[in-house]
Copies of this chain bind each other. A is one copy, B any other.
Amino acid sequence: MGKAAYSSVETPAVLVDLDIAERNIIRFQAYCDEHGLKLRPHIKTHKLPRLARFQIEKGAVGITCQKLSEADAMTDGTGIDDVLITYNLVGEAKQERLKALAGKIKLRVVADSAAVVEGLSAAMNGSGHKLTVLIECDTGARRCGVATPEAAAELAGRIASSPNLHFGGLMTYPPVGGTEAVQEFMTKAKSLIEAFGTPVETITSGGSPDMWRAHEAPVVTEYRPGTYVYNDRSLVERGICGFDDCALHVLATVVSVPDAHRAIIDAGSKVLTSDLLGLTGYGHVVGRPDIAVDNLSEEHGRLVSREPVGFKVGDRVRIVPNHACVVANMLDAVVLTRGEDVLGPEPVVARGKVW
């Protein structure tokens, strides 16, 4: 299909340019290969088995998911069978689903407390095999994670001595700029744990903002970026990529031009989301750096400029959103393209999977 099909795409739409996404995947795989890092991309950004398979074909060792339901969706009939879930799985319902999934694929999970470890061990009762568990470490993000290398070592001992579990290593999601802190924390934790004779097989870190600095924490063996596949305005503003590297765009139609300096588009927070990630405004209008997306309601986006906006009702605009991952979660399907060619809609099979 060519340009004619493109103009018929209904708006608002989330467009994904496969040429750009594949280029982004290949480029960071090359970086990981050069530095001897295993790459285990987080699928939270694209949520598409098709792109996960491409990542694995190019050299990724498997995928990262945040929730069991994402792992189910990404492995069910897709040929993908190696998943790390970087999330504390808590509660009986999740224990049952964990046990079922662990019987089907190569699955590893994380824990950051004795309570979570006990739950994982209980989940595997009667399964006949051991679940590999990594310890989540807080290297500065102040989200989940054990707070010190000493606490990591203590929890490693607990995992290693659990009959149903196997200690698999250390995991962190560092804050932006946290590469040095990762190196320091992980080096000390590894040393403490190995002093007890327990090998630390994997040390896994993540985050697209610092992905080009991953090699500066050489203790890390595996990296889990998510956003790098699409990129977004937040990464452009951080200097990680350019707008030409952004594979995901929101296509919108101008529905009102109330005055010369304001236009309203049919994409609001139900597509662009309210994520700011520290930025001002809700996205970048391609080709129009003078315009700010200064206000969103659910179905309206407001474009304002000191210059005349120059749009008329029916014009279409492309917007690079602040945060690609959350935008990919808003609609049931994205529209795949290659440059100006429209390939068609692709169901976002792992959309809305929060369990």
Contact = CB atoms under 8 A, between A and B. Distances in A.
Interface in A245-263: 253-259, 262
Contact of A331 (B12, B295, B302, B354): B354
Contacts of A354: 12, 266-267, 270-271, 299, 331
A297 interface: yes
A144 B264 contact: yes
A62 B236 CA distance: 46
A145 interface: yes
Contacts of A11: 91, 355
B313 A90 contact: yes
Interface stretch (A30-38, A272-280, A283-291, A334-342): A272-280
Interface string A1-14: 00000001011100
Nearest to A333: B352
Interface string A344-355: 000000001011
Contact of A326 (B66, B113, B269): B269
Contacts of A112: 256, 258
A87 B256 CA distance: 10
Given A142-B262, A331-B354, A273 B271 contact: no
Contacts of A266: 87, 90, 354
A325 to B, nearest CB: 6
A232 interface: no
A272 to B, nearest CB: 11
Nearest to A312: B115
Contacts of A231: none
A224 interface: no
A292 interface: no
Nearest to A315: B90
A88 interface: yes
A254 B326 CA distance: 22
A300 interface: yes
15 contacts: A11-B91, A88-B256, A91-B314, A116-B256, A142-B258, A143-B300, A147-B259, A266-B354, A269-B275, A270-B329, A270-B354, A298-B325, A298-B326, A298-B329, A330-B352
